[in-house]
């Protein structure tokens, strides 16, 4: 994996300023197909801004984005979708009160008929959604009319991933996909992430969870205060080093020392400083 | 059997129960006056007129917005038609489309402001409600020096919009049925219906999924503007005059009908059939009171209570729909059980989560 390949997307020196506040500061990143890029960082480190730039919600104040080597601005979520960039939000980005078949195809409905009599093809949509969900291991979904809200958090996450894969996503951005999930469900979602990677998708995984990141990640980038603090490949850093980086380096060591002093202090007393 | 169970889980079921309840209530206390054709025509006419506004407003509300400006738009559409045909004596072929176009235009303006400024539609349409009322007053007074313009409605317009079908049953009922069919078709059969639900469910997710959020929002406000103007013109055709202060009561009536009809105030859920039942419920309560011999003031009390019950029922339904499947091991047959069963499952799930 050391030879130089053209990344599917590369961000070069992207800066994003919101009314004087620098949310992203000169960030460069490469996103390769068939790889999982883990985007790590504390709250407010600029992860969301970066994925919003990638998914067309924000445009960088300066810097360029290249797709397969060509300069290509992403001006809207529609542009991102046309480039095969699909974003799955924390809660699956789905619509709890819609049926699975309607939610799955929202914005890209299969239709039949013509003109004013062009209708939503519920039968096809239902068949496809059940097939895709089953293929992703959610076997209890047998009816496309089922409400999305009746699925568990993990199943909703998987349905959103299934949607991205079905519509031919080349880059899948997952925003904290495992944050609200139990251990088993999180494992299932990570397995789906690995499947997507094996299919040749580029996956951008945004997470707080170092264990999950280390399980599936090939390439890691850590953001601190909007700037890229580290960029390394699998096996180049230990878990402790990554955790320290995420928490802003020394800050974490200090905090741990303080916590330790609480633990060693006698009950009912503040630790001595 | 499972069909019956599914029926009780449909969004319009509670609205249907509400309609049945108020019908039986007034049939009992207003017996035998309440079931006479003239009384039936009375509430059906009220329902039909309200329905012309409530159905498009329901689409706006399912998409997660509110439209408080329908009253002023109604007056604007009616006054445009009345001034063109009644005051200037121009033909209907100019007056009718102009009235409808004015209503649709101010709906467009609502939608444009909401999408461009990202302000809450409550505030935008509240501003439109007052601003447009002032505009209609001002222009009407400047043009005609009055606030009431009478129209000698031509035979063709009267028979289409303002006529009677049979006894005192108004033609508005036909318009209502057409409106209901169009709105149901859009919501259930076309992709636009899907976009409306998605927009009300989660605007950001809808945008990310590729739904043209701006276009849909503007289109929906144009729809409610059109419905309001249509009702305004219908009323001119019925009464032979237009008043600048007409229509304000429809702002809240339409919201009551839509919410009693099972549409969630937060958007994302609802059905035109439910809204039709909600509209009928409203009409029965406001008209049925006259056949009981009670003071008509009491109808407001009943409407207030119904609205409160409806909102509580809607919220309960949403909670059930959202939590029915939290328990991963639930088999499909269990998941389809009745709401009562689902609520007991809910408790179990909550306890399980605590562990």
Domains parsed from chain B with CATH numbers: 12-322 (1.10.3470), 324-355 (no CATH)
What is chain A's length? Answer: 273
> CA B91 to CA B93: how far, in whole Å?
5
Q: Do A118 and B191 touch (CB under 8 A)?
A: yes
Q: Do B332 and A109 touch (CB under 8 A)?
A: no
Fold classification of A1-95+169-236 (topology level) = Rossmann fold (3.40.50)
Q: Do A149 and B322 touch (CB under 8 A)?
A: yes
Of B240, B71, B232, B245, the C-alpha closest to B147 is: B245
> CA of A118 to nearest chain B CA: how many angstroms apart?
7
Is the entire prediction scored with pTM above 0.90? no
Across the interface, which of B193, B326, B331 has its CB nearest the CB of A152?
Answer: B326
Where are any strands of DSSP class E within chain A? Answer: 9-18, 21-31, 36-41, 62-67, 70-71, 85-88, 111-112, 119-120, 171-175, 202-207, 219-224, 227-233
Question: Going edge to edge, which strands form the sheet with A62-67?
Answer: A21-31, A9-18, A62-67, A70-71
> CA A217 to CA B283: how far, in whole Å?
62
Q: Do A97 and B322 touch (CB under 8 A)?
A: yes
pLDDT digits (tens, 9 = 90+) for B209-224: 888 999 999 999 999 9
Residue B173's SS3 state is: helix
Of B352, B325, B270, B63, the C-alpha closest to A159 is: B325
Tokens 């006056």 belong to residue: B33
- Report helix angle B272-288 to B249-260, nearest 10: 120
Q: Which residues of chain B make contact with A150, given a CB cutoff of 8 A?
A: 321-322, 324-325, 335
Tokens 């895709």 belong to residue: A132
Give the residue on A whose Cα is nearest the Cα of B209. Answer: A107
Of A245, A225, A206, the C-alpha closest to A26 is: A225
Interface probe, candidates A52, A56, A58, A107, chain B, greatest B C-beta count within 10 A = A107
> CA of B318 to nearest chain A CA: how many angstroms apart?
8
Q: Do A98 and B197 touch (CB under 8 A)?
A: yes
Interface probe, candidates B191, B274, B321, B354, chain A, greatest A C-beta count within 10 A = B191
Chain A and chain B share a number of CB contacts under 8 A equal to 103
A220 DSSP β-pair partners: A38, A232
Give me the torsion for CA of A232, A236, A240, A242, rounded to 10°: 10
Where are any strands of DSSP class E within chain B? Answer: 148-150, 164-166, 169-170, 241-243
Per-residue pLDDT of chain A (273 residues; tens, 9 = 90+): 445 678 899 999 999 998 888 888 999 999 999 999 999 888 778 888 998 999 888 999 999 999 988 898 888 888 888 888 988 877 666 788 888 999 999 888 888 988 778 889 989 999 999 999 988 888 888 888 888 888 888 888 888 888 888 988 899 999 888 887 888 888 988 999 998 899 889 999 998 888 889 889 999 999 888 888 888 888 888 888 888 877 766 666 677 788 888 888 777 777 765
Across the interface, which of A95, A108, A185 has its CB nearest the CB of B202?
Answer: A95
Structure tokens at A200: 């040749």
Confidence of residue B284 (pLDDT cuts 50, 70, 90): very high
Beta carbons of B67 and B58 less than 8 angstroms apart: no
Beta carbons of A50 and A232 less than 8 angstroms apart: no
């Amino acid at each position: 994996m050391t030879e130089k390949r053209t990344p599917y997307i590369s961000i070069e020196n992207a800066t994003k300023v919101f009314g004087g506040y620098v949310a992203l500061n000169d960030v460069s990143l490469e996103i390769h197909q068939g790889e999982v890029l883990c985007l790590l960082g504390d709250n407010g480190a600029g992860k969301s801004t970066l994925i919003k730039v990638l998914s067309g919600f924000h445009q960088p104040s300066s810097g360029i984005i290249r797709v397969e080597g060509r300069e290509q601005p992403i001006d809207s979520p529609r542009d991102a979708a046309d480039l095969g960039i699909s974003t799955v939000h924390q809660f699956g980005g789905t619509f709890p009160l819609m049926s699975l078949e309607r939610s799955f195809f929202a914005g890209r409905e299969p239709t039949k008929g013509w003109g004013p009599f062009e209708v939503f093809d519920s039968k096809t949509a239902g068949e496809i959604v059940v097939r895709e969900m089953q293929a992703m291991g959610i076997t209890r979904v047998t009816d496309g009319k089922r409400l999305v809200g009746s699925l568990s958090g993990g199943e909703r996450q998987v349905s959103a991933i299934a949607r991205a894969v079905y519509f031919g996503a080349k880059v899948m951005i997952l925003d904290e996909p495992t944050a609200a999930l139990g251990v088993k469900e999180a494992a299932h979602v990570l397995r789906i992430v690995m499947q997507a990677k094996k299919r040749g998708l580029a996956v951008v995984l945004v997470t707080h969870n170092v264990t999950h990141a280390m399980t599936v990640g090939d390439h890691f980038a850590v953001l601190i205060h909007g700037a890229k603090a580290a960029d390394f490949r699998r096996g180049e850093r230990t878990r402790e080093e990554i955790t320290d980086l995420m928490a802003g380096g020394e800050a974490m060591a200090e905090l741990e020392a303080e916590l330790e002093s609480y633990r060693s202090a006698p009950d009912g007393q503040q630790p001595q400083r | 059997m499972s069909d019956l169970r599914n029926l009780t889980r449909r969004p319009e079921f509670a609205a249907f129960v509400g309609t049945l309840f108020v019908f039986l209530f007034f049939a009992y206390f207003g017996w035998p006056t309440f079931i006479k054709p003239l009384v039936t025509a009375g509430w059906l006419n009220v329902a039909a007129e309200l329905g012309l506004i409530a159905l498009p407003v329901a689409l706006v509300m399912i998409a997660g917005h509110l439209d408080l400006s329908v009253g002023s738009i109604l007056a604007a559409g009616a006054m445009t038609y009345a001034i063109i045909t009644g005051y200037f004596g121009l033909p209907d072929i100019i007056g009718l489309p102009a009235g409808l176009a004015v209503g649709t235009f101010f709906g467009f303006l609502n939608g444009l402001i909401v999408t461009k400024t990202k302000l809450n539609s409550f505030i935008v349409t509240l501003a439109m409600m007052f601003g447009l009322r002032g505009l209609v007053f001002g222009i009407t007074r400047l043009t005609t020096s009055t606030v009431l313009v009478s129209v000698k409605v031509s035979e063709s317009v009267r028979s289409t919009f303002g006529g009677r079908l049979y006894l005192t049953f108004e033609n508005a009922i036909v318009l209502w049925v057409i409106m209901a069919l169009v709105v149901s078709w859009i919501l259930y059969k076309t992709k636009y219906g899907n976009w409306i639900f998605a927009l009300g469910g989660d605007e950001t997710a809808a945008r990310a999924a590729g739904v043209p959020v701006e276009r849909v929002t503007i289109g929906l406000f144009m729809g409610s503007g059109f419905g309001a103007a249509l009702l305004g013109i219908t009323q001119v055709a019925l009464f032979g005059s237009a008043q600048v202060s007409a229509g304000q009561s429809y702002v809240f009536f339409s919201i009551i009908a839509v919410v009693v009809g099972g549409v969630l105030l937060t958007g994302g859920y609802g059905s035109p059939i439910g809204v039709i039942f909600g509209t009928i419920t409203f009409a029965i309560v406001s008209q049925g009171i006259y056949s009981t011999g009670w003071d008509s003031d009491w109808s407001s009390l009943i409407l207030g209570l119904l609205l409160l019950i409806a909102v509580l029922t809607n919220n309960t339904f949403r909670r059930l729909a959202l939590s029915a499947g939290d328990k991963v091991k639930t088999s499909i047959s269990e998941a389809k059980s009745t709401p009562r069963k689902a609520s007991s499952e809910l408790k179990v799930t909550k306890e399980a989560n605590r562990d």
